[in-house]
């Protein structure tokens, strides 16, 4: 179901205000009151979106990364190498987004919400990894786990590693997404197609 346009406008105003505030404040220092004044939103309206600033930030910005990590593939119409190239493209897009919005993601990763953000991101990336492994399994890529538990373990391993890489990348000043994409891809399991 589509979000109500007023809800969308309010959410975007809050996001923009938070993004602006994070250029001069830590996430832990941004109160609901300050965020609402900056966004021009009433506090009761804010509480319709989240119980607090940190929860709002975690939900919104983890969802952004999830949208970028989403890859639509055709398991029957594409080769494993083509699918792997699409995932590499998505990874590069994700890294580019992290460079472009580094202030926000650094704030999340250096705040009291660090664990919550990493957990939210890991859960979303695990679901994306499971989808990728499902595609590779249907394409009969040698080495991709067939057993559901083993596939879940592989997805958890990949997602956890990606969250760690995102953390390191975001806290660095590296902006070379091509080189970083190649380094990260080289860390994936041997059976992951290289594209």
pLDDT of residue 187: 96
Overall pTM > 0.85:
yes
Ranking 16-30, 71-85, 93-107, 111-125 by mean pLDDT, the lowest is: 71-85
On average, the pLDDT of the chain sits at 95
How far apart CA 52 and CA 46 sit, in angstroms, is: 8
Q: Residue 165's pLDDT band (boundaries 50, 70, 90)? A: very high
Check: CB of residue 111 under 8 Å from CB of residue 28: yes
**Position 41 pLDDT exceeds 80:** yes
pLDDT of residue 46: 96
pLDDT of residue 75: 86
How far apart CA 40 and CA 31 sit, in angstroms, is: 14
pLDDT of residue 3: 78
pLDDT of residue 4: 86
Span 169-188, average pLDDT: 96
How far apart CA 63 and CA 127 sit, in angstroms, is: 13
Span 60-76, average pLDDT: 91
Q: What is the pLDDT of residues 121-150, one digit of tens each?
A: 999 999 999 999 999 999 999 999 999 999
């Amino acid at each position: 179901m589509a979000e109500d346009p007023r809800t969308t406008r309010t959410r975007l105003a809050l996001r923009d205000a938070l993004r602006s505030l994070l250029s001069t404040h830590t996430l832990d220092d941004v109160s609901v009151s300050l965020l609402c004044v900056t966004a021009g939103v009433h506090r009761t309206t804010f509480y319709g979106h989240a119980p607090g600033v940190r929860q709002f930030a975690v939900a919104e910005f983890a969802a952004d990364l999830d949208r970028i990590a989403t890859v639509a593939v055709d398991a029957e119409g594409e080769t494993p190498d083509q699918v792997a190239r699409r995932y590499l493209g998505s990874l590069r897009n994700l890294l580019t987004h992290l460079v472009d919005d580094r202030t926000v993601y650094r704030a999340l990763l250096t705040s009291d919400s660090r664990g919550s953000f990493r957990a939210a991101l890991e859960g979303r990336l695990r679901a994306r990894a499971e989808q990728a492994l499902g595609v590779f399994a249907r394409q009969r890529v040698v080495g991709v786990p067939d057993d559901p538990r083993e596939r879940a373990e592989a997805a958890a391993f990949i997602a956890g590693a990606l969250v760690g890489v995102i953390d390191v990348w975001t806290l660095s000043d590296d902006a070379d997404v091509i080189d970083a994409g190649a380094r990260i891809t080289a860390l994936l399991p041997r059976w992951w197609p290289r594209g």
